[in-house]
Structure 1
Amino acid sequence: MNDGLRPGDPVRLGGYDVLARLGDGGMGSVFLARSPQGRRVAVKVVRPELSHDEEFRGRFRSEVNRARQVPPFCTAEVLDADPDHDPPYLVVEYVEGPSLAEVVREQGPLGAAQLHSIAVGVATALTAIHGAGVIHRDLKPANVLVAPGGIKVIDFGIARAFEATSQHTRTNQMVGTVSYMAPERFDTTSGASVGPAADIFAWGAVVAHAATGRNPFGGDSATATAMRILTQPPDLTGLDGPLRELVSRALEKDPAARPTARELLDGLLTAGYPGGAGGPAQLPAATPTANALPAGGGDDQGRRSMPSGLATAGRAGLGRRGWLTALGGTAAVIAVLVPAFLVGPKLLRGQSKPDPTGPAATGSPATSGPAATASTAPSGTPTASPSTSADPTRAMLAGQRRFLLHVVEIDRDLALPSHGELEVGDGTGEDALFVLEPVGVDYMIKSVNPEIAHRPCLGVKIDSKGYASLVGAECYATAATLFGIAREGKDDKGRTSYSIVNDEYGVVQWSPTKKEIYVEFLGDAPIDTTFSMVDRGAV
């Protein structure tokens, strides 16, 4: 709502003329402004007390950079930001249209067609947001705009900067709205990070609210609501059909039991088609993730393995884009409704595995060809198709071949000796051989050195000073052992080179001063270190 300007409100921020106050939130105030080019924009000004906090400014800058990677077709595009301004501010696209909260308040629960459109639009936005390595953290009806051109999700991309700045987030205060918070958000003692699954829970609560006009865990106070979220099943009375099953899955207490945004989207798109009509939309059963932490440190983020129905495909030569085709003809529907760049290489962190050799390298989902074919041996073990076997790069990405992990910039190879401390060397010996283990949409990087009985996977270890190194860790799929692999270019021998990024801790880099591999919080840091995989035969 446009409230005009109040005494003390800024009239100009950087090059933007402030026109009116649009609203207030826990993180700051939002203003309507005019850009130097005459475009109307929304400017979010963060709380003044954060102006002199260097930790906040650094995280704010990093989160804005990530948010800029989100395709703007279903979100409010991030246009500009100034973390060094007093106070810091963020400029986003101004979207005309009421919020979902306003629509439900004025019109009541939505009809089936409009409800399905809302569910698809928000799931699509979350797929793009998560694909860019961003977690929304405050998804709610007020942050879903029903714009003339379609659904737009706003207010993503800076919540983590607030939440992670401990001196400004008190023990009993967190970013978000209680009614739409996942159970794990209330656990302030474990130190575990909030993962994308928290946004999936919020999606379920948002869709339930749109369908019924109430929150599925609504209580007479914030405390009562939180207790219901933690202990009670959702009240989905009034929500029927395939959408009820999807919402119920999204509202599971265990984050590992919830579908991903991409799985939600597939379930929504197939619900009205043959195989989905007349019954609940079917999502593949989730594969539980081990709760144990890797020895190298880190925390469990509630991230889960690829659903069992897709795991075989992932290991049989399907790249990150190609695994969509394992679900059948629905990939074609997704390709029409979701722009192809949604699964492009810029969104690899946490959402799509690179397939540098096949048709999917252009950014389109593979619907045929080597990446979409696999056979099964009589024992039930997946085997690569002839085309995959003949393509060592694809086979390495599928976990079928051993390789040297070559550090391009220093012309050396990584090695993981039995003592568990990562080294660089000349690539000789079994301690320099690795294999990828696809886990959902990411990878564990595993040494094939037979002398390593424990901690054979690469993992991130944080020391007491916050320095992040790469060490040997137990092979459990946790935030510290899962890595995205993003294609960067070619090395001097023409091999595809990659950056290796851990969603939680940052990018794997080489330190010229310390002469060692470390992990750097992404932020504004350029990716100075790339890796190529040198084929060393079948596993």
Structure 2
Amino acid sequence: MSNGLRPGDPARLGAYEVLDRLGDGGMGSVFLARSPQERLVAVKVVRSEFSHDEEFRGRFRSEVNRARQVPPFCTAEVLDADPDHDPPYLVVEYVEGPSLAQVIRERGPLGAAQVHSIAVGVATALTAIHGAGVIHRDLKPANVLVAPGGIKVIDFGIARAFEVTSQHTRTNQVVGTVSYMAPERFDTTSGHPVGPAADIFAWGAVVAHAATGRNPFGGDSPTATAMRILTQPPDLTGLGGALRELVSRALEKDPAARPTARELLDGLLTAADRGGAARPVQLLGETPTVALLPAAGGGGQGRPPMPPGLSAAGHGGSGRRGWLAGLSAISAVIVLLALAFVFVPKLLNGGSKPDPTGSTAAGSPGPTGSAATASTPTPSSGTPTRSPSAGGDPTQAILAGQRRILLHVVEIDRDLSLPSDGELGTGDGTGKDALFVLEPVGVDYMIKSVNPEIAHRPCLGVKLDAKENKLLVGTDCRPTAATLFAISREAKDDKGRTSYVITNDEYGVVQWSPTRKHIYLEFLGDAPIDTTFSLVDRGAV
């Protein structure tokens, strides 16, 4: 939707000529712009108050690079980003089409075939982003575009840079829309980490809204809505058949009881085979895709008037004209894409998921899915499970928690050790206190000592000392903000082994202090990474 430029809006952002304002949201504004190559782009500009927060800039840069790792078949292209600009901005491919919220507002609830298409399209998108270790965190009808080429989910991932920035966590603020937030987003005492299961909950609320025109937990106020999400069952009146069962499972209070995005796809395709949704009989000659777009703003990208002299090549052209018929026809191709996405990797790779660290074997890096390299490691969190590859890949076995390992500190040629007193140190890697195992928790890990002398507090966790320094120590093995770590591939050590960065989303990057001789954590922002780790295989658990 075109909102027109306002006084004070920028005329240019870097090399991009600003043409129109597309929308506003809690995180910033989205503008239609023209690139030096005469291409239409969407530029998301971050709110100015974040400009001087170095921690936010580091998070923003990290999340931009993570967004680039989502498989390209389901992503609108990330073209550019400047975290150092005042204010920071992100440039992505411009996608034409109304949002699902706009469609429902103008036309009311959708028919069964259209709802099924929305459900399949969004589930396919979530399968892709969760597979890349990304969480949307703000899925809602305004972030689902009904584009001429298919359903496109926008505005994912970047919200994380805002939510985990310290100035927000200290005031207990969260990023998102209350009506589509999972219970664990509100109840921080539950012990459930906010992971991909929160997106599954939002998927259920979005599909229910598409079918009924209302939110299944709608209350008179955000507080009342939050209480209903926490304590009441969803109101799914008007939603029937197999889709109702899937939506009901997605809206479970316990994140562990919800299906994964891939399981949603399986269920949706099975429902289609049983005749659970209307089947299109003709394709309209379009090239439908399911795409993710990491842009932001309250109303999505929308569809402003086309600037003179520019075409809408690559965006479909016709906008909302005939979208109901197109959506029915598109659903067939979406189902085919979903089938390929679900089953082809299983046939080729024996059913294994990609290694989130980007390595294909111990000591050898694999494809990262992105030409960009983050200056800070990419944190992650979530709840999908991993399985080791069928080919006996030792790295996959390590990541699946099936191998004992040394955590070798590359820069000092020493290994982490956790003696029975629980104070983490370094040694030569020969003692039993140097052996660890990775315990997958979604796309993150708990790092557990296998020292038989440690009966309590065997997992690594973050401890704040009296001076607020963040130290790595032994602690209880419970998935919390202090015990979950992302492990992302960095480079190679001097022995040719793949080295990794270990990051805690809440407290920062695991670092070695050569002066104090201890392990600590900090957010690096634009600073280089000083400490990396090799995962040295030491046999089966």
Q: TM-score of the superposition, structure 2-length normalised?
A: 0.73
Q: Does 1:334 align with 2:342?
A: yes
Give CA-to-partner distance per residue, 1:402-431, whole Å, 9 cap, x none.
333322332222211111121111112211
State the distance in 2 between where 1:464 and 1:31 align. 46
**2:149 match:** 149
Tell whether the 8 Å contact from 2:184 to 2:193 is kept in structure 1 after alignment: no
- The alignment partner of 1:371 has SS state of coil
State the distance in 1 between where 2:348 and 2:523 align. 29
- The alignment partner of 2:389 has SS state of helix
**2:85 match:** 85
Q: Which amino acid aligns with 1:142?
A: A
How far does residue 474 in structure 1 lie from its aligned partner after superposition? 1.5
Give CA-to-partner distance per residue, 1:176-214, whole Å, 9 cap, x none.
222212233344789997443332221111111112222
- The alignment partner of 1:233 has SS state of coil
**2:439 match:** 437
**1:245 match:** 245
Change (3 A) 1:534 1:142: closer
Tell whether the 8 Å contact from 2:362 to 2:394 is kept in structure 1 after alignment: no
Pairing partner for 1:481 from 459, 479, 483: 483
Q: Does 1:356 align with 2:361?
A: yes
Q: Which amino acid aligns with 1:63?
A: E
Q: Which runs of 5+ in 1 are unaligned?
A: 280-329, 373-386
**2:221 match:** 221
How far does residue 494 in structure 1 lie from its aligned partner after superposition? 4.5
Pairing partner for 2:424 from 422, 425, 433: 422
Q: Which amino acid aligns with 1:405?
A: L
Moved more, 189-198 or 514-523: 189-198
Q: Which amino acid aligns with 1:509?
A: Q
Greater RCO (CA < 8 Å, at least 6 residues apart): 2
State percent identity of aligned pairs.
82
Change (3 A) 1:72 1:152: farther
**2:462 match:** 460
Tell whether the 8 Å contact from 1:269 to 1:333 is kept in structure 2 after alignment: no
State the distance in 1 between where 2:251 and 2:412 align. 48
State the distance in 2 between where 1:395 and 1:170 align. 38
Tell whether the 8 Å contact from 2:501 to 2:509 is kept in structure 1 after alignment: yes
- The alignment partner of 2:206 has SS state of helix
State the distance in 1 between where 2:142 and 2:510 align. 37
Moved more, 88-97 or 46-55: 46-55
Change (3 A) 1:176 1:416: same
How far does residue 491 in structure 1 lie from its aligned partner after superposition? 4.0
Moved more, 176-185 or 11-20: 176-185
Give CA-to-partner distance per residue, 1:343-383, whole Å, 9 cap, x none.
544x44xxxx965279996799xxxx9934xxxxxxxxxxx
Give CA-to-partner distance per residue, 1:29-51, whole Å, 9 cap, x none.
22111122221111222334444
Alignment root-mean-square deviation, CA: 4.0
Q: TM-score of the superposition, structure 1-length normalised?
A: 0.73
State the distance in 2 between where 1:333 and 1:192 align. 29
State the distance in 1 between where 2:219 and 2:520 align. 47
**1:14 match:** 14
Give CA-to-partner distance per residue, 1:269-304, whole Å, 9 cap, x none.
45445xx8889xxxxxxxxxxxxxxxxxxxxxxxxx
**1:403 match:** 405
- The alignment partner of 1:403 has SS state of strand
State the distance in 2 between where 1:514 and 1:170 align. 28
Q: Which runs of 5+ in 2 are unaligned?
A: 278-337, 370-386
Change (3 A) 1:409 1:163: closer
**1:312 match:** none
State the distance in 2 between where 1:18 and 1:231 align. 46
State the distance in 2 between where 1:420 and 1:233 align. 44
- The alignment partner of 2:361 has SS state of coil
Change (3 A) 1:53 1:214: same
**2:285 match:** none
State the distance in 1 between where 2:57 and 2:519 align. 26
Tell whether the 8 Å contact from 1:74 to 1:121 is kept in structure 2 after alignment: no
Q: Which amino acid aligns with 2:405?
A: F
Change (3 A) 1:251 1:339: farther
Pairing partner for 2:533 from 526, 531, 534: 531
Moved more, 407-416 or 439-448: 439-448
Tell whether the 8 Å contact from 2:405 to 2:535 is kept in structure 1 after alignment: yes
**1:412 match:** 414
Tell whether the 8 Å contact from 1:434 to 1:446 is kept in structure 2 after alignment: yes
Tell whether the 8 Å contact from 1:135 to 1:157 is kept in structure 2 after alignment: yes
Moved more, 108-117 or 355-364: 355-364
**2:94 match:** 94
**2:389 match:** 371
